[in-house]
Amino acid sequence: MDPTLFSQLPIEHVTDYQPVGGGDINEAYQLTDQTGTHYFLLIQPNHPKSFFQHEVTGLKLLSQTVLTPKVLDWGSFGSDAYLLLNYIEHQPAGDQTEMGRQLASLHKRHSPNKQYGFSEAFTMGTYTADNSWRSDWESFFIDQRLAPLKKLIQHHGLWTPEMETQYATAIKVFKHLMITYHPLPSLLHGDLWSGNFMFNPNGQPVFIDPAVFYGDREFDLGITRVFGGFNADFYKGYQQVYPLERGTDNRLPFYELYYLMFHLSQFGAGYQSSVLQMLTLCASK
């Protein structure tokens, strides 16, 4: 990182900066100013300012309902994009019941046009999600989430004939499940795995790194089941505020499938067996 960037940030004087874990895509740094205040700086090399547009939009939108980092500045420096946030002092555990309640409250916010999608696309790695508005969830999820990921996986030569057989059956099952299930288009975090929340020093949940759009609220909940990190208190808290509808256990695996397909498309063959296993489960519903 070029420290001359600091001169254009809304920080009086940066006295120290250290690289920190910021995910798989961005460079991340903790900055400290002369008063000892900490900041979180993300840099995406060789991308314009617009790279962070959707994250900025998402953080501001989510912050109306749940705790998120505050966007302090974002822009471009040379050929790189940057995003400056306040630094969240955090601890390894906190109130998961409250986190479930907050997610449920977020999901009670529905699309203003009563459709599924969003006004912006978003990019995660080499995958760009098409958020074009659709009037029904079934076609949105199949055509604008699963199908593009399948195509990307095929491009990498990782889609097998067995996967194709199970996928064809799974799509038929999903369409059948949607006959009697008509979810409202809820505001979603969009990428809610255990790396995208933390607990502040008071034990309160803070949601980070969103990929927002309006869709079936079970989409977020399906993702929470893929890599763990959410305990029984989380799901109990969610149910207290916004109880799930009948049949959710049959639908959640399809959203787990989406997330596993995303990981196969980005991180390679190590996820092939998990995708096939989930495809088989979905096809059996």
Of the pLDDT bands very low, low, confident and very high (cuts 50, 70, 90), residue 245 is: very high
Residues 109, 38 share a domain: no
> Is residue 205 predicted with pLDDT exceeding 90?
yes
Residues 114, 81 share a domain: no
The pair of three-digit structure tokens given for residue 49, joined into one six-digit string: 């300012």
Identify the domain containing residue 181 by its residue range: 96-283
Q: Domain for residue 269, yes or no?
A: yes
Q: Residue 52 maps to which CATH number? A: 3.30.200.20
Q: Which of 80, 191, 216, 220 is catalytic?
A: 191
**Last-in-domain residue among 67, 86, 105:** 86
The pair of three-digit structure tokens given for residue 23, joined into one six-digit string: 């995910």
6-64: per-residue pLDDT in tens?
A: 999 999 899 999 998 755 678 899 999 999 999 999 999 988 999 999 999 999 999 99
Please, how many CA atoms are within 13 Å of residue 269, restricted to the half-sphere of its CB?
4
Determine whether 130 is an active site residue.
no
The pair of three-digit structure tokens given for residue 166, joined into one six-digit string: 């199970």
Q: Domain for residue 71, yes or no?
A: yes
**Last-in-domain residue among 58, 86, 114:** 86
pTM, to two decimals: 0.94
Q: Domain for residue 257, yes or no?
A: yes
Q: Domain for residue 273, yes or no?
A: yes
| Structural contact between residues 91 and 229, judged by C-beta atoms closer than 8 angstroms | no
95-113: per-residue pLDDT in tens?
A: 999 999 999 999 999 999 9
Query: Domain count of the chain?
Result: 2
Residues 273, 137 share a domain: yes
Residues 199, 104 share a domain: yes
Q: Per-residue b/e over 123-134, b at no fewer than 16 CB within 10 Å?
A: ebeeeebbbebb
Residues 263, 136 share a domain: yes
Q: Domain for residue 91, yes or no?
A: no
**Last-in-domain residue among 86, 115, 149:** 86
| Structural contact between residues 263 and 147, judged by C-beta atoms closer than 8 angstroms | no
